[in-house]
């Protein structure tokens, strides 16, 4: 029995509980954590999976008065005579050992990341299968998290298909450009994407302090010549930059850059933000790329002596993106939907010729990573339960 308790005892003057498991491992649980996480109806609202017990009521120096156990559970009595019961499986999952914590974090956050360059084998699934089948939807979102991009084929060539995907995951991310937006050649365009010119590698919407995590693009109409899509794995490029020029990597991961977006669409807007182009977590791992050359502001809030080194670092970063071995080029066909990680991938577009009528039309939308990850966890549970 993997989660069977062999022995449970109190240590450290009643401030620590030790469990010896039948598989030979051991776990330690501080008394204060156990009291804080009591699962009884007075302390925990099971219908909401939420804690009712207040920190104001917590004695941070609390000790365990009495302890009993069997193979499946532990029963603790506290000095106030309040009792807490903990299931073996629940405790095992929350073991404080480094190995157990890392395992649980992997289960919660799907950190696996597969870097790629021009050799990318673009993950492809059927649009209708994703809408109707949980296993296909799970493969879609898990591949999106791991690889950073998935193509869906077989959608219709009319507007509204992205709303279906939004409903599949939960809901879409509303921005100043609307719930969905139309990428096509427009007179007096309020965004460079709404022209026929080349779009260099960029992430969308760094002008927001919380840029959308996932982008969805649905091809409704495609031009015969030009208009090819280009993508690059930003995390892979960051790794190459750090290896090639650590100073350039440090500059782009420590310098705050101003971004701006001003105009009228869903409503009028005047947006300003500050981001480091390469955003790191507290372990120094890249977690987001914030770069859009068109909305990078003319305002640059750095000392004058830091301007030249910044441009040198930025130029090297962009040059690495444009290396043939780094970028993947493909052409969307009507009915194709590409879904990709806007915090990781940078995307661009080759120019195409304008005609008397609209020759290329994509519908776009955004989703928040919190919404996508929520659906991914639910789908995994659904698929595992069926298997």
pLDDT in tens, 135-160: 999 999 999 999 999 999 999 999 99
Closest residue by Cα to residue 171 from 378, 377, 367, 374: 367
pLDDT in tens, 264-294: 999 999 999 999 999 999 999 999 999 999 9
Residues of the chain with pLDDT under 70: 1, 186-196, 354-356
pLDDT of res. 194: 59
What are the counts of helices (DSSP H) followed by strands (DSSP E) for the chain? 10, 22
pLDDT of res. 262: 97
pLDDT of res. 1: 46
pLDDT of res. 225: 80
The pTM of this model reads: 0.94
pLDDT of res. 241: 98
Q: Are strands 214-221 and 180-183 parallel, antiparallel or unpaired?
A: unpaired
**To the nearest 10°, the Cα dihedral for 74, 79, 83, 84?**
-50
Taking each helix axis from N to C end, the angle separating 369-386 and 134-147, rounded to the nearest 10 degrees, works out to 130
pLDDT of res. 223: 86
Q: Which helix (H) or strand (E) covers residue 320, if one does?
A: helix 307-321
Q: Are strands 124-126 and 149-153 parallel, antiparallel or unpaired?
A: parallel
Q: Are strands 268-276 and 124-126 parallel, antiparallel or unpaired?
A: unpaired
What is the number of other CB atoms lying within 10 angstroms of the CB of residue 357? Answer: 7
Show the tokens assigned to 10: 């109190």
């Amino acid at each position: 029995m993997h989660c069977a308790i062999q022995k449970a005892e109190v240590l450290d003057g009643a401030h620590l509980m030790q469990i010896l498991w039948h598989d030979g491992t051991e776990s330690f649980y501080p008394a204060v954590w156990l009291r804080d996480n009591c699962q009884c109806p007075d302390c925990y609202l099971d219908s909401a999976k939420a804690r009712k017990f207040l920190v104001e009521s917590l004695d941070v120096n609390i000790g365990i008065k009495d302890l009993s156990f069997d193979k499946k559970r532990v029963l603790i009595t506290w000095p106030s005579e309040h009792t807490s019961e903990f299931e073996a499986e629940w405790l095992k999952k929350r073991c404080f050992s480094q190995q157990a914590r890392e395992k649980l974090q992997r289960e919660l956050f799907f950190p696996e990341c597969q870097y790629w360059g021009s050799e990318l084998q673009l993950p492809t699934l059927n649009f209708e299968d994703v809408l109707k089948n949980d296993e296909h939807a799970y493969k879609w979102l898990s591949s999106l998290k791991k690889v950073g991009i998935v193509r869906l084929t077989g959608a219709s060539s009319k507007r509204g298909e992205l709303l279906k995907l939004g409903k599949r995951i939960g809901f879409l991310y509303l921005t100043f450009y609307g719930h969905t937006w139309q990428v096509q050649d427009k007179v007096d365009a309020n965004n460079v994407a709404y022209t026929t010119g080349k779009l260099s590698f960029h992430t969308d919407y760094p002008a927001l302090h919380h840029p959308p995590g996932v982008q969805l693009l649905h091809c409704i109409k495609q031009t015969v010549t030009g208009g090819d899509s280009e993508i690059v794995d930003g995390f892979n490029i960051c790794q190459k930059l750090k290896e090639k020029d650590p100073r350039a990597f440090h500059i782009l991961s420590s310098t705050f850059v101003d971004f701006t977006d001003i105009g009228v669409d869903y409503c009028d807007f005047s947006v300003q933000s500050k981001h480091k182009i390469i955003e790191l977590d507290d372990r120094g791992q890249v977690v987001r790329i914030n770069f859009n050359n068109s909305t990078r502001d003319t305002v640059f809030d750095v000392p004058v002596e830091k301007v030249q080194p910044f441009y040198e670092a930025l130029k090297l970063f962009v040059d690495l993106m444009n290396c043939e071995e780094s970028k993947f080029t493909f052409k969307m066909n009507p009915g194709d939907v590409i879904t990709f990680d806007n915090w990781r991938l940078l995307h661009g577009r080759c120019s195409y010729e304008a005609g008397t009528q609209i020759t290329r039309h994509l519908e776009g939308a955004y989703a928040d990573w919190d919404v996508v990850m929520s659906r991914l966890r639910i789908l995994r549970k659904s698929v595992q339960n069926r298997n």
